[in-house]
Amino acid sequence: MSAEMQKYIDEAEQALLHTYNRYQVVFDRGEGVYLYDMDGKKYLDFVAGIAVFALGYHNEAYNDALKDQIDKIIHTSNYYYNLPAIEAAKKIKEISGMDRVFFTNSGAEAVEGAIKTARKYAYLKDGRTDHEIIAMNHSFHGRTMGALSVTGNPHYREAFEPMIGNIKFADLNDFDSVLAQVTDKTCAILFETVQGEGGIHPATEAFMKKVRALCDERDILMILDEIQCGMGRTGHMFAWQRYGVKPDVMTTAKALGCGVPVGAFLMTEKVGANSLAAGDHGTTYGGNPLACAAVCKVIELLEKQDVLANVKKVGTYLEARLDGLVTEFSCVTERRGAGLLQGLVFDRPVGGLIKRAMDKGLVLINAGTDIIRFVPPLIIEQKHVDDMIGILRECIAEAEGERQ
């Protein structure tokens, strides 16, 4: 590491609130599926800003769309209409099949809006304010107080209690555990279609269909968090489309803007007409022209470049190569995931392996202490998978050799 890069890292440690244990690198630019640090070192990126940069770095069409919008107008507030927001709403409705859209600045804010939607929907039915939401153990929905309240990991919540209250937890893919939590106060069942931070666990088709039927029977809202697994990452624009189990409310963010901070929560017309109304919810920046110009271009390019087909093809190849590592190394116990959202489970903490990979020019991230998560740009090719596997295999072999 150069003295200059170390200088900037030291400055950051003096100025930024220490809520992240950052890797010792300052990234300066990106090109395609590669990142470059201040010293010019090249890294193969299998993190994509945590499933954000779906289109890869320095996509000229995307960059030009943002530059054009900056030259027009960046912000107006939601007291007025703006053309990019109208167009973005139309496009996201088309790819999701949902009916109403509220644009936010982040995934956590989208979850907050979904929670408020569920409570208002139930309140309008019976006038009560004691409704309950069932969320899942090992889930992750964000760091704001509402999103944290439905995050199924006590470690994240304990220092910030009390949470918003009336939240119960069940187990993903265990319908009986969900049913056991249902009462006449239940207003929503909320879960990630593919759990991300909690270990890369996809919801099963059987579980999804049983929850959908339960919600239909009791007029409970089914809320799906597609913040990490949506926008093409599983080979479908949204992961629930794999099974055709449509939610009442859905959250999205991350790759929705491919780097520009933007999220959204969407709902059916029935929910939209019977929940949030004027004055119930708002945001200063949400849905501004710049963010929505990004949304429009992202959706356009995902379709124009047939990214979903690439995800299905390369995702299948990635699965096979990761399965090979499970067979080859005894310390690798399992591979799970969908499309280009994959996890490799180890019998030990993976922090050291991620650090080794970084030193060798490969950017990886964990999902829990013992899982390496793979969320590369959706434009990766099989050769990039081969390069990644080569580096990772070398890292694992070195670590195993040192243990003997």
Q: For 232-252, what is the mean pLDDT?
A: 97
pLDDT of 403 strictly over 80: no
- Over the stretch 119-142, which tens digit does the pLDDT of each residue have? 999 999 999 999 999 999 999 999
pLDDT of 239 strictly over 70: yes
Q: For 299-318, what is the mean pLDDT?
A: 98
In this structure, how many other beta carbons lie within 10 angstroms of the beta carbon of residue 238? 24
Amino acid identity for residue 219 in this structure: D
- Over the stretch 44-99, which tens digit does the pLDDT of each residue have? 999 999 999 999 999 999 999 999 999 999 999 999 999 999 999 999 999 999 99
Distance between alpha carbon 254 and the CA centroid of its chain, in Å?
6
pTM for this prediction: 0.95
Residue 404 banded pLDDT, cuts 50, 70, 90: low
Residue 250 banded pLDDT, cuts 50, 70, 90: very high
Q: For 285-307, what is the mean pLDDT?
A: 97
**DSSP code of 136?**
E
User: CB of 256 within 8 A of CB of 263?
Assistant: yes
Residue 400 banded pLDDT, cuts 50, 70, 90: confident
| Chain mean pLDDT for the chain | 96
Q: For 269-284, what is the mean pLDDT?
A: 96
Which position has the token pair 């893919």? 173
Domains of the chain: 3-55+306-403 (3.90.1150.10), 60-304 (3.40.640.10)
For residues 306 and 255, give the distance between their C-alpha atoms in angstroms, rounded to a whole number: 16
| Portion of the chain with pLDDT greater than 70, in percent | 100
pLDDT of 309 reads 98
User: CB of 266 within 8 A of CB of 101?
Assistant: yes
Q: For 292-306, what is the mean pLDDT?
A: 97
Amino acid identity for residue 213 in this structure: A
User: CB of 141 within 8 A of CB of 198?
Assistant: no
pLDDT of 200 strictly over 70: yes
Please name the helix (run of DSSP H) or strand (run of DSSP E) that holds residue 335, with its range, or none. Answer: strand 332-338
pLDDT of 401 strictly over 90: no
Instruction: Please report, for residues 76, 109, 181, 191, 207, the alpha-carbon distance to residue 289 in angstroms, rounded to integers and kept in the order given.
Output: 8, 18, 42, 30, 39
Cβ contacts of 56 within 8 Å, gap of 6 or more? 30, 32, 33, 377, 379
**DSSP code of 242?**
G
